Amino acid sequence: MDMKYPIGTFQFDDEISNSVTNVWINEIEDLPRLLRDAVEDLDNEQLDTAYRSGGWTVRQVIHHLADSHMNAYVRFKLALTEENPVIKPYEETKWAELSDYKLPIDTSLTLLETLHKRWTNLLYSLTPADMDKTFIHPDSGAVSVAENIGIYAWHGRHHLAHITSLCNRKGW
C-alpha cells in the first residue's frame, strides 16, 4: 500500500452528474463522524504518531483537516458569489508547525462537525448553474464548484485512510 496516498490521488474523468456530486456531498457530510470514530480510543502517544515516516502525526492530520476544510468552505463561497475569484493558497506544512496543532484534537473535531453541517447545507442547495461556477487556483488554474466537491470528498477520505491504515498497521 502507498502510505502517502492510501486511496490514490484524486481522479475523475467522467461527467460530473448530480448523482455523483450527491455521493461526494454525502462523503463530506459523513467525514466528521467517521474521523471521530477512528480516533476516539487513541491516547496522546498514539495521536502523536506519524502515519508514515516523514508524515504528519494523527493529531496534525486532524488539525490540518479543520484548516483545509475551512479554507475550502470559504473558496466555495467565493466561487458562488464572485466572478472567477483568485483564491489564496496557504503553506499547509508551515501551518502544521504552529502551536494550535498541539491542541487537543476535540477542538478540531468539534470545529469539523459544525463546519461540515454548514458546508453540506450549502452544497446540497446548489443549482446546476452553481456547479459550473469556478475559482482560480494560482497553481492549478480554474476549478469548478462541482470538481471541487469531488476534490474535498477525496481529501477527507485520503486523510481518514492515513489514520485508519496506521491504526490497522499498529493493531490499535
| Pairwise CA distance, residues 170 & 172, whole Å | 6
| 43 exposure class (CB count in 10 Å sphere: 0-12, 13-18, 19+) | exposed
Binding residues for Zn(2+): 64, 155, 159
Binding residues: 64, 155, 159
Farthest-apart Cα atoms in the chain, separation: 49
Bridge partners of 136? 86, 142
